[in-house]
Structure 1
Amino acid sequence: MAGFLPKGHNDGTRFLLREVQEGVAGTIVMLGIEGAAEPELARLSLGMQKALSGHPQFVSVMNGVFSARQTQGLQDTLMAHRYQLAPDASARDLSAAALGQAFEGVLDGLNSSAGSVFSDMLLRDPTKAFLNTVQTLEPDVQVRMEHGVWFASDRPRALLLLRTTAPGMDLLRQKAVQQTLQTTFAALHPGTARLLMSGPSVFAVRSAAGMRADMDLMAFCSVLMVAGVLYWRFRSFWVLAAIGVPFFLSLSVAMIVVRLVFGYVHGIALGFGMTMLGVALDYPVLLIGHRDRGEGPEATLQRIGHSLRLGVTTAVLGLTGMVFCGLPGLAQLGTFAATGLVVAACVTLSLMPRLVVAADLAPSVSGPSPQLAQAEKLRRYRVLCAVPLLISGVLLWQHPLVLDTRLAALSPIPEQARRVDEALRHELGVPDASLMLAVSGVNAQAVLEREEALSGVWAHLQQQGALSGVQDAARLLPSMQTQRLRAEALPAPAVLQSAIEEARHNLPFRPDAFSAFVQDVAAARKLAPLSVQDMAGTPLEAALSPLLFERQGQWFGLVFPERVHDRAAIEHAMANQPDVLVVDMKREIDGLSAHYTARTLRWMIAGCGLALAVLVYGLRSVSRLVRVTASVGAALVSLLGVLAIMGHPLTLIHLISLQFVLGVSLDYALFFARPQLDDAERARTMRTLLTCNAMTVLTFGLLATCNTPLLQEIGKTVALGVLFAMAYGFLLAGQRPRTG
């Protein structure tokens, strides 16, 4: 869906959509292993971590355990730079009074049962600067350590957090990543244990695979069903071949036009476009179905050509909402379908008559039909159509339709998968980006300095109770300027030694007990500050990269408020902060969807207005105009009434489906309403439209059985709408039978 969306209509949505498609958040994969005893789950977790660490498909693999090389290297770096990195200022307070309190804590630690093990560390780091630094870098995970690895706090589930080298929306590479995970897990002989995977890329791959499988199955089955209907109607393989000519020509030209206009053909546009373009089959069916054997090429067109041209024109105008909606995918779909319809109609009107006459193609059954003539008598009671319309009106009044503009309404992700994702996200401390702030700067240091400048704002908001804290890059890696200032504030060796002598007075420490401490402080005063580049290849890089990154020469830092209680207060505090963008994901993405849904609706209304003007000009008959518009309106009202009683809010998908139903309804109504001088012609029209209706209902009825909710909605809406279109077109648009 991300590739189906535009760049956005404001700064928030443009930034958000860029990060959805290109950002580091999309490369996060969360794993859970459950279904066995905890020792077995720990074995599998350790096996996965060992097998995947260093694999070219992964930037990092975390489960609470790091390799000895990574751990030792990071510990050495953090120990050396602890006074530059520790966020608590008390860790750098090396005055005699502060050291006196610290030394008393050291003495208590040495007297404890673990004192002999940690004696060197206690004496070397009496102010606990290293511990303060490490605690800051630890992720806010809701886990417990069992058997040396992460476990969920409330259930026997081992947890792993991975980051892939492939972008989140690179579905081909992400599919390979998931295959690697499954293969690696299977190679560990998991027994009854099962692997849970979640994350944006996991959803993307599964959704794409599900939709592709649905479309492939539908394409195969619908071809068989349509071919079966056509053969039953015409009893000729030559007819099938002839009908395929305008369809494949329209498909080819539509792909070329979309490629020229947009530069590429989106997969969704191609898949849905071919489905919608299926109405192009109606045109050659209408031509052949209305022909008598031996009839010349112009005779059939004289009877149906005007109605066919009006039908094509109004159908194309009905697609205006999609063509000009502003969503690239939908615009492609509308352009694809409109181009295909025009090409199919042109081929049917210009090339097909000679081909049909040369092969003498015509229905196997023609002429008047007593059964159809009897059915036409139902039009005498067309006033009874007011009953279902009245019922639909009451349903719409009692259950008003709501336009659901949320993007979540289009989501193909099953509810169970969402719940698993929420659980893993909470347990692993992966931030929920429902609210985030983006700080921009010319380079990484500018961003870090800007985030540090906001620390006072966060503290004030925390005191107000608006939030409980924030996750940002400056918490993990202070700016180089801050590190320099902290290092410069450390006392010189002589001053520190004097403070130590005063602090250890009356305490049982040897004179040289804190010599390593003095040496470390002296070295820290001269250490160059750590940069982002210094974190490359360390576990800290995996934590830092989602929060601090470069995009097209501009650096951004993401700030995630924790446990937000007052969004309005946060937004108010950020209102006058330069280079800070507040992004409420739900509001921005829903606002984006609402913006383009409203735009689609406006263009849809404009297209319907133009289609009505074309009908007024083309029909030039008040009676026919009333019958056509009444049948189309009745079909749409009845369809909306059914959606209302089913409790379905209208989404962007329903608007697309309604545009398709509108075009088909106009086709049926125009052919029923055209002058038909004898019983044979009325029978030909009825048989032909029933054939077209059967093809469309079967095709979209099959779509309604798909596993993808989005495709199901299209199938159900169009199949039901086309049935209403046929019924009301026959009853309201057709001529009353002659009496006597």
Structure 2
Amino acid sequence: MMNANALPPSKRPALFWGVACLILLGVLLTLLPQARLNSSVLAMLPKQTLGAIPPSLNDGFMQRLDRQLVWLVSPGKKADPQVARSWLSLLQKSQALAEVKGPMDADSQQAWGAFFWQHRNGLIDSDTRARLQNGGEAQAQWILSQLYSAFSGVSGKELQNDPLMLMRGSQLAMAKNGQRLRLMDGWLVAQDEQGNYWYLLHGELAGSSFDMQQTHQLVTTLNTLEGELKAQYPQAQLLSRGTMFYSDYASQQAKRDVSTLGVATLFGVILLIVAVFRSLRPLLLCLISIGIGALAGTVVTLLIFGELHLMTLVMSMSIIGISADYTLYYLTERMVHGAETSPWQSLSKVRNALLLALLTTVAAYLIMMLAPFPGIRQMAVFAAVGLSSSCLTVIFWHPWLCRGLPVRPVPAMVLMLRWLAAWRRNKKLSVGLPVALALFSLAGIATLRVDDDISQLQALPQDILAQEKAITALTGQSVDQKWFVVYGKSAQQTLERLELFAPALEQAKKEGWLGGYRTIPLNSLARQQQDLSLLKNAAPAVIKALNNAGLATVNPDLNAMPVTIDAWLASPASEGWRLLWITLADGESGVLVPAEGVKNSAALNTLSTQYTGVAWVDRKSSFDELFALYRHILTGLLLVALAVIACGAVVRLGWRKGLISLVPSVLSLGCGLAVLALSGHAVNLFSLLALVLVLGIGINYTLFFSNPRGTPLTSFLAITLAMLTTLLTLGMLVFSATQAISSFGIVLVSGIFTAFLLSPLAMPVKKRKKDDE
């Protein structure tokens, strides 16, 4: 009597799955026009990047800062703005940027001076305020020191118009705050140790610095313009700085990884499948399951995240090999036993093992959802959905599509049978190899070092880094992203909080926690009122002291000259400071206070918590701590996962066989870490993420071997093919130029190969030996 499993079931599930795939295709075509490919390494990082400040302010600051570009142009040791003017002209003619600024022209300089003159009573600096608080005598002495100094250049007109020298005081304070740049012919100019002059230019992108296509086009344009400048002025030097340059480097590197590694991967998998099956149909079946998986993964990722990260595509190359495993396991069963069983009988033999393997792999990927990085979460969603769809494609479609597939002799069958027999009969192999690998693991793990440095996320180009360091040295303006953020519900509340926090900043500087800081030269309206009262109280004493010194006519204007944030931002006086301020549509405002020479980040963070509306931001330190935290969390999760797998194995197979079947999983993790250590890499969060996949993928081999309805020969052939396809795909990650991806690949390759080597430990005890002969 014919087995019911030999009869073809209803076509309805296959048709339903076909309709589902057509719907997915329609959704993809709808989503693609609005979808974007994000190449930003920063976009992989957690969103809460500026401490406790409101997310809307955070996004506003980060988007604006990431659009900024800075250039320093040097004509040589002779001050000559002509080279800088030529670079400015080239940038403006290219129309590649939303805005380019160079020198301050005569009209702007006049407007700048006029603004300070009209609001001198409202723009009092902290040094002048301190002098006025002492009753006026100190301010009078300072005015006299300016008058009698040979270098101050006080004119009679200045003394007549501004006898209290408030405008001079505020401008001297700004000059002190301006670090190493000075004004020459309207240009901000720095000078290096060799005596070269450097002229500052500033630009802003029209769009995001992380728009891959636009960014690469702009970088190419800028490189062309630099060539034109140096052709005209061979002695000229140009330094560039901006997030855009790093983003473009990262995206081009990832594109190279995708194109070269992806092509090599597909070519290798195709050759392997054709060589084993000697037919194109298995290759087409593999491509169908991989294609459906990629379709479903892309659609769900776009629906959830609204975009695809380039890193997701690079790291998702690993899914090609894993999704092919399901097809290969089914097809090897057909190739070996196709003459005796129907496609549906073959499916019934492998279905449970396939679904269990899928469950463990998807669980491993979903654990990666706990990582705080959007790029990693995208990959986890892409993989979980993609692999599930690939497996369902095998179950629903492949029994229909593989009918008539020729039965072939098993390649290298004699060698395989001898290897399996050796595992059963030779204790030197079945005991010696696991013991040797255990010792190797212990030796390697003993030399492990931990490094949670976020810079491993991106292979930083040395030429761009060198230019950034040179600009920092010349201008004194670092981009190491260490700053305080002061914020409030309104502009005035923000300014008042900044004023309340300023004494603490000065104290932190005295304590040596930081070398310096910059605060915007603007007072709150409340502070302006207080300053006006100080002026009125101190004016008689100042006038008297100046009269005694022989200055007869001293008539200061003591009227209110209020400065609002809007007026200040609209004036040339805020030039160079506007980046530090942001006001949202609802009035919520924030201001950055950049810190330099930070020696004690932890103390500054503690200081910020003592004030309302103040947050300390040390982005690199915060991310390093986050890496360490999630590394510890994943370590715990791996141990929990091992415990769960052990319990499941013991329940299915009994104590002895269950614990033996756990050996490949444990040693695959150990060998992965050992090879990582011996290759000179450090353990970090990405190494742990790789171990999660080693566990999820490697256990498939044990599950295939321990399948009571399969045969060891079929399982071994399927596992060998699965291992080779996985190594062809994951192995390519080892050659990535990005250290994080490379170490990810090293752990995966070594761990999965170890799992393959030890998988025969899970073979059923001899009862199925006849099937192999």
Counterpart for residue 323 of structure 2: 280
Describe the shift of the 1:722–1:459 C-alpha distance in structure 2 as closer, same or farther (beyond 3 A).
Answer: closer
Instruction: Give the 3-state SS of the residue equivalent to 1:454 in structure 2.
Output: helix
The question of 1:644 aligning with 2:677 is answered yes
Mark the CA change 1:399 to 1:363 in structure 2 (over 3 Å): closer, same or farther. Answer: farther
Partner amino acid, structure 2, of 1:46: R
Deviations 1:353-410 (A, max 9, x none): 12101xx2246543773333334454222222144324324324632453x4443343
Helix, strand or coil: the match of 2:327?
helix
| 2:726 is the counterpart of 1:696 | yes
Residue of structure 1 aligned with 2:111, choices 73, 80, 88: 73
Q: CA separation of 1:149/1:566 partners in 2, compared to 1, >3 Å: closer, same or farther? A: closer
Mark the CA change 1:310 to 1:582 in structure 2 (over 3 Å): closer, same or farther: same
Alpha-carbon contact 1:322-1:330 (below 8 Å) kept: yes
Q: What residue identity is the alignment partner of 1:445?
A: Q
Q: Residues 485 and 593 of structure 2 are in contact (CA less than 8 Å); yes or no, is this contact kept in structure 1?
A: yes
Q: Check conservation: 1:405, 1:652, Cα contact below 8 A.
A: yes
Q: Match of 1:245, SS? A: helix
1:182 to 199, 223, 247: 223
Change (3 A) 1:734 1:213: farther
1:219 and 2:249 correspond: no
Amino acid at match of 1:391: L
Residues 93-147 of structure 1, C-alpha deviation per residue, up to 9 Å, x if partnerless?
99689657735753554xx8x96x9564466556543333223334543457899
Per-residue deviation, 1:607: 4.2
- Which of 278, 299, 321 aligns to 1:256? It is 299
Alignment of 1:144-543 (within 5 A): 150-155=189-194, 156=196, 158=198, 160=200, 162-166=202-206, 169-172=209-212, 174-175=215-216, 177-188=218-229, 189=231, 190-191=233-234, 195-262=238-305, 264-292=307-335, 293-294=338-339, 295-325=341-371, 327-357=373-403, 360-362=404-406, 364-366=408-410, 369-379=413-423, 380=426, 381-396=429-444, 398-400=446-448, 402=450, 404-414=451-461, 417-431=464-478, 435-473=482-520, 476-487=521-532, 489-490=534-535, 499=544, 502-505=547-550, 518=555, 521-522=556-557, 525-536=559-570, 538=572, 540-543=574-577
Q: Residues 414 and 493 (structure 1 numbering): CA distance in 2 closer, same or farther, change over 3 Å?
A: closer
Q: Call closer, same or farther: CA 1:309–1:614 in 2, change over 3 Å.
A: farther
Matched AA of 2:433: C
Aligned to 2:5: none
Query: Residue 720 and residue 145 in structure 1: after superposition, are their counterparts in 2 closer, same or farther (change >3 A)?
Result: farther
Q: What are the Cα deviations for residues 314-367 of structure 1, in whole angstroms up to 9, with x where unaligned?
A: 22222231134454433332222122222222221232012101xx22465437
Conserved 8 A contact 1:142-1:153:
no
The Cα shift of 1:38 comes to: 4.2
Question: What's 1:89 paired with?
Answer: 128
How far, CA to CA, are the matches of 2:80 and 2:441 in structure 1?
Answer: 59
Counterparts in 2 of 1:169 and 1:591: CA distance versus 1, 3 Å: farther
* Cα RMSD after superposing both structures: 4.1
- Counterpart-to-counterpart distance in 1, 2:654 and 2:627: 41
Deviations 1:484-525 (A, max 9, x none): 4434554699979974882353xxx7x7xx6xx74xx33x62
Unmatched runs of 5 consecutive residues or more in structure 1: none
SS of match in other structure, 2:416: helix
How far apart, CA to CA, are the structure 2 residues paired with 1:153 and 1:638? Answer: 52
Matched-pair contact (CA < 8 Å) for 1:627–1:673 = no
Q: Which amino acid aligns with 2:405?
A: L
* Unpaired runs of at least 5, structure 2: 1-40
- Give how far 1:242 is off: 1.9
Q: Classify 1:232/1:89 alpha carbon distance in 2 versus 1 (closer, same or farther; 3 Å).
A: same
Equivalent-residue separation in structure 1 for 2:750 and 2:142 (angstroms): 79
2: CA distance, partners of 1:530 / 1:416: 43
- What is the alpha-carbon distance in structure 2 between the residues aligned to residue 494 and residue 291 of structure 1? 100
Over 3 Å counting, the alpha-carbon distance change for 1:59 and 1:735 in structure 2 is farther
What SS does the corresponding residue of 1:557 show, helix, strand or coil? strand
Q: 1:31 aligns with which of 58, 71, 75?
A: 71
Q: For 1:682 and 1:466, locate their aligned partners in 2 and report how far apart those are by CA, in whole Å.
A: 66
SS for the counterpart of 2:565 is coil
The reply to whether residue 135 of structure 1 matches residue 172 of structure 2 is: yes
Structure 1: distance between partners of 2:372 and 2:96: 39
**Using the alignment, how far apart are the partners of 1:530 and 1:48 within structure 2?**
35
Distance 1:327 1:573, change over 3 A: closer
Report the CA distance between 1:175 and its aligned residue.
4.6
Map Cα deviations across residues 433-452 of structure 1 (whole Å, 9 max, x no partner). 55432222221122112222
Asked whether the equivalents of residues 483 and 592 of structure 2 are also in contact (C-alpha less than 8 Å), the reply is yes
Change (3 A) 1:130 1:144: closer
Counterpart CA distance in 2 for 1:290 and 1:41 is 79
Percent of pairs identical after alignment?
19
**Aligned partners of 2:546, 2:235: CA distance in 1, in Å?**
63
Residue 290 of structure 1 aligns to a residue in which SS?
helix
Distance 1:223 1:387 in 2: 36
Q: How big is the shift at 1:74?
A: 0.9
TM-score by length of 1: 0.83
Matches within 5 A, 1:2-13: 2-8=42-48, 11-12=51-52
**Is the contact made by 1:653 and 1:710 (CA closer than 8 Å) also made in structure 2?**
yes
Shift of residue 655 of structure 1? 2.1
Shift in alpha-carbon separation, 1:580–1:284, aligned structure 2, 3 A: same
Corresponding residue of 2:15? none
Deviation of 1:170 after TM superposition, in Å, equals 4.3
Q: Select which of 22, 32, 46 maps to 2:62.
A: 22
How high is the TM-score relative to the length of structure 2?
A: 0.80
Amino acid at match of 1:348: V
SS in 2 for 1:291: helix
Distance 1:713 1:291, change over 3 A: same
Quick one: structure 1 residues 496 and 326, their matched pair in 2 at CA, closer, same or farther if it must change by over 3 Å? closer
Q: Secondary structure at the match of 2:240?
A: strand
Partner amino acid for 1:66? M
Provide the residue aligned with 1:714 in structure 2. 744
1:346 aligned partner, one-letter code: L
Residue 51 of structure 1: how far off its partner (Å): 4.7
Distance 1:98 1:493 in 2: 9
Q: 1:53 to 1:567 in 2, by over 3 A?
A: same
